[in-house]
Amino acid sequence: LLVVPLLYLYLRRQEPMKQPCAHGLKVYPILGTLPHLLKNQDRFLEWYTGVMQSSPTHTLVFKVSGLAGEAITADPANVEHILRANFGNYPKGELTVSMFEDFLGHGIFNSDGEQWLWQRKAASYEFNKRSLRNFVVDVVRFEVVDRLVPLLERAARDAQTLDLQDVLERFAFDNICRVAFGQDPACLAVAEEGMAAHQSAAEFMAAFTVAQDTIVARVLSPTKWMWRVKRLLDMEPERRMRSALANIHRYSEQIVRDRREAGRARRDDLLSRFAAAGEHSDESLRDPDVEAKIMREIRASGQGTANFSLDELRQMHYLHAAITESMRLYPPVAADVHSCKEDDVLPDGTFIAKGWLMTYCAFAMARLESIWGEDCEEFRPERWLDGEGVFRPASPFKYPVFHAGPRMCLGKEMAYIQMKYIVACVLERFSLRYVAGKGHPKLVMSMTLRMRGGLPMQVKNKGG
C-alpha cells in the first residue's frame, strides 16, 4: 500500500518546476490527463476541438506523471512562434522522426537540420520552374479527359454510385507518379477501362493507407514507446504495418530501379512525395449556390471542354476561394506535430518543457470564432474575396493548411492548379449528390484527413 503514494511523490519531484495548466480538463493524481485521452481516443479531432473552443488560450496540455508532456494549440500567435519566430526550437525531433522513420525514412517530411535544408533547396529549385507547372497542367488534363471524365460518364450512364474519395485518391496517385517519376500506374484506368489490374500499384496504395493509419496510432498513443513493444511482440496494428512496409518498399524501390537511381535517400524522397500527393487532392464542394458561381466563372473563361490553360486557371478567383474555404474547414493535414528542443513559453503563457511534443491543430483553428468570426463553421467562400471579387489570402499562421514559415509547402501552387482543373472540368459536365444520408461523413484521423466509409456520390450528366 505504501508503493503507490511513494511512487506518486517521486514522480512529482521529477516534474518541471513550472506546472502546466490543462484548461477544462480534470488532472488526476499520477494518471494526469490520461483518462481523457483514453475516453476520447476514437474521436480526438472533435473532442479536443471542443475543449480548445472553451479554453481561454485555445491551448491544451496533456501530462502523465513520468512521461513526456504534449501541448496542442489553435492560437495563431502560438503557431507563428512554433513555425517561424522560434523555428529552431521546434524541429521534428528524434521522437517524432523515430515514429515515422520506418515509413518515410529521412525524406524532406521527416528530417531536420542540414539534411532537411539540403532537400528543401533541391526541391525548391524544381518547383520554381515554369516548365514543371506547365507539365503539371498537361498531366492533369490527360488524367481528367482520358480517365476521370470517362469514369464519371460510365457511372452516370449505369446509375452507379461512386466512392469519390477512392476515385480521387487513385487520381492523385497516378498524377504524382507521372509528374515526379515518369511512371504511369494507371490506377484510375483500371476501374474505367476494364484493364488487367495493376496489382502492385493497387497493393501499394492499400499498404500506404495502412501505414498512415498506423503512424497516427503511434502519435496518438499516450505512451510514445508502446508501438515498439507491439512491434517486438508482433501485435496489431504493428503486425499489419510490417506487411505494409514490405509492400511499400518493394514498390518504391522498383521505381527507383526503373529510373536507374539507387540509394536510400532517393527512396525516402519518393515516399515523401507520395505522402504529399494525398494532402490536397480530394476536397469536394457540394453547395448549389457555390456551384452556380463557379459555373459562371468557368463559362466566363471562354474555354470549357477541359482546355484550361495555366493562366486561365489562375484567374478563377471564386473557384480558388471555394477550394480554400473547403480546406479551411477540412484541412488535409488536420494537425502537425513538432518537438520542443529547450524549455519555452508560448505567447499565450503556456510553458512547454524540453522533450515535449508540440502540435498545432488546423482543424480546430477553423472552428474558433476568435479567428474566423461567428460564422466560422459555415462554408462561405466569400470570406476570401475583396470587393472586386479578387482572392485575398490570409496569414499562413491563421490558415496553416500548407504549413507556414521555413517549412511552407513547396507544392502549394501546383496543388491549387490540379484541384481547380479537376473541379472545373467535373462541375462543367456532371452533377454530384452525396447519397450516404444526412449530415457530414464521419472523419478518420490519419496522416491526411479521410472520411470513414468513403464518399459515396451519385453522378448525373448535365448534358442529359
Q: Report how far residue 268's alpha carbon sits from residue 52's, in angstroms, rounded to the nearest whole number.
A: 35
What is the pLDDT at residue 10?
43
Q: How confident is the model at residue 9 (pLDDT cuts 50, 70, 90)?
A: very low
Q: What is the dihedral of CA 322, 327, 386, 388, to 10 degrees?
A: -30
Q: Report how far residue 337's alpha carbon sits from residue 324's, in angstroms, rounded to the nearest whole number.
A: 22
Between 437 and 261, name the one with better pLDDT. Answer: 437
Q: Report how far residue 266's alpha carbon sits from residue 256's, in angstroms, rounded to the nearest whole number.
A: 7
What is the pLDDT at residue 20?
46
- Closest-CA residue to 178 (of 210, 138, 206, 216): 138
- Closest-CA residue to 144 (of 390, 429, 394, 346): 429
First-to-final CA distance of the chain: 77
213 has a pLDDT exceeding 80: yes
281 has a pLDDT exceeding 70: no
What is the pLDDT at residue 375?
96
What is the pLDDT at residue 174?
85
pLDDT cut 70: percent of the chain above it = 82
Between 441 and 81, name the one with better pLDDT. Answer: 81
Of the listed ranges 17-31, 58-72, 116-130, 375-389, the one predicted with least confidence:
17-31
Q: Are 143 and 168 in contact (CB under 8 A)?
A: no
106 by DSSP, 3-state: which?
coil
What is the pLDDT at residue 373?
96
What is the pLDDT at residue 304?
60
The helix-helix angle for 412-429 and 164-181 (nearest 10°) equals 130
Between 278 and 244, name the one with better pLDDT. Answer: 244
Mean pLDDT over 342-350 rounds to 96
Q: How confident is the model at residue 348 (pLDDT cuts 50, 70, 90)?
A: very high
Q: Check whether the bond before 20 is cis (ω within 30° of 0).
A: no
What is the pLDDT at residue 306?
65
- Closest-CA residue to 295 (of 157, 457, 153, 431): 431
What is the pLDDT at residue 97?
85
What is the pLDDT at residue 153?
93
Domain boundaries, the chain: 114-461
276 has a pLDDT exceeding 90: no
Contacts of 153 (CB under 8 A, 6+ apart): 429, 461
What is the pLDDT at residue 255?
76
Q: Report how far residue 153's alpha carbon sits from residue 140's, in angstroms, rounded to the nearest whole number.
A: 18
Q: Report how far residue 16's alpha carbon sits from residue 342's, in angstroms, rounded to the nearest whole number.
A: 12
Between 157 and 258, name the one with better pLDDT. Answer: 157
Q: 10-69 pLDDT, tens per residue?
A: 444 444 444 444 455 777 777 777 788 778 877 888 988 998 998 899 998 887 666 678
b/e code 65-88 from CB counts within 10 Å (16+ = b)? beebbbbbbbbbbbbbbbbbebbe
What is the pLDDT at residue 339?
93
238 has a pLDDT exceeding 60: yes
Return mean pLDDT, the chain.
82
Mean pLDDT over 182-192 rounds to 71
What is the pLDDT at residue 264?
43
What is the pLDDT at residue 273?
54
Q: How confident is the model at residue 346 (pLDDT cuts 50, 70, 90)?
A: very high
What is the pLDDT at residue 286?
56
What is the pLDDT at residue 368?
97
What is the pLDDT at residue 337?
92
Residue count of the chain: 464
What is the pLDDT at residue 177?
80
- Residue 409, annotated as binding a ligand: yes
Q: 62-76 pLDDT, tens per residue?
A: 876 666 788 999 999
Q: How confident is the model at residue 197 (pLDDT cuts 50, 70, 90)?
A: very low
Mean pLDDT over 430-441 rounds to 84
Of the listed ranges 108-122, 147-161, 193-207, the one predicted with least confidence:
193-207
Mean pLDDT over 220-224 rounds to 78
Q: Report how far residue 141's alpha carbon sits from residue 21's, in angstroms, rounded to the nearest whole number.
A: 52
351 has a pLDDT exceeding 90: yes
What is the pLDDT at residue 172?
87
Which range of 73-82, 129-138, 234-243 scores highest in mean pLDDT? It is 73-82
Q: How confident is the model at residue 394 (pLDDT cuts 50, 70, 90)?
A: very high
Tell which CATH architecture fits domain 114-461.
Answer: Orthogonal Bundle (1.10)
Q: Are 59 and 24 in contact (CB under 8 A)?
A: no
Q: Report how far residue 128's alpha carbon sits from residue 448's, in angstroms, rounded to the nearest whole number.
A: 25
Please tell me what DSSP assigns to residue 269: H
What is the pLDDT at residue 267?
54
